[in-house]
Amino acid sequence: MTIQSVRGMRDLLPEEIARWHHIENTLIEVTQSFGFREIRLPLMEFTSLFARGVGESTDIVEKEMYTLSDRDGDSLSLRPEGTASCIRAAIQHGLLHNQVQQFWYHGPMFRYERPQKGRYRQFEQFGAETFGLESFTAEAELIQLSAAVFDALGVRDDLRLEINTLGKPADRAAYRLALVAYLQPFASQLDEDSRRRLDTNPLRILDSKNEQTRAILENAPDFTDYLDAEAIQHFAGLKNLLDILKIKYVVNPRLVRGLDYYTHTVFEWITDSLGAQGTVCAGGRYDGLVEQLGGKPTPGAGYAMGVDRIVLLHEALNGETRSEAIDVYCAVMDVAQFGHAFEWCAQLRKQIPGLSITLYKSAGKIQKQLKRADKSGARVALLFGEEEVSKNVATLKWLREDKAQQTLDFAALCKCLGETS
pLDDT tens profile 328-337: 999 998 899 9
pLDDT given for residue 420 in this prediction: 66
Q: What is the dihedral of CA 151, 154, 157, 160, to 10 degrees?
A: -60
Whole-model pTM above 0.95?
A: no
pLDDT given for residue 321 in this prediction: 64
pLDDT given for residue 259 in this prediction: 63
pLDDT given for residue 97 in this prediction: 86
Contact 119, 113 (CB under 8 A): yes
d(CA 121, CA 200): 24
d(CA 245, CA 136): 14
Q: Which residues pair with 211 in a beta bridge?
A: none
- Residues of the chain within CATH 3.40.50.800 domain(s) are 328-420
Kindly report the CATH number that applies to the domain delimited by 328-420. 3.40.50.800
CATH class of 14-168+228-318: alpha beta
Q: For the chain, which ranges sit under pLDDT 50?
A: none
- The predicted-structure confidence for 136-194, as pLDDT tens digits, reads as follows 999 999 999 999 999 999 999 999 999 999 998 888 889 889 999 999 999 999 998 89
pLDDT given for residue 260 in this prediction: 66
d(CA 213, CA 52): 29
Strand order in the sheet with 394-398: 357-359, 328-332, 380-384, 394-398, 406-408
pLDDT given for residue 22 in this prediction: 93
Query: Three-state DSSP class for 383?
Result: strand
Any idea what DSSP says for residue 186? G
To 5 degrees, how large is the angle CA 340–CA 346–CA 347?
Answer: 90
pLDDT given for residue 262 in this prediction: 85
- The predicted-structure confidence for 225-252, as pLDDT tens digits, reads as follows 899 999 999 999 999 999 999 999 999 9
- Residues of the chain within CATH 3.30.930.10 domain(s) are 14-168+228-318
Strand (E) positions, 253-375?
263-270, 279-285, 300-306, 328-332, 357-359
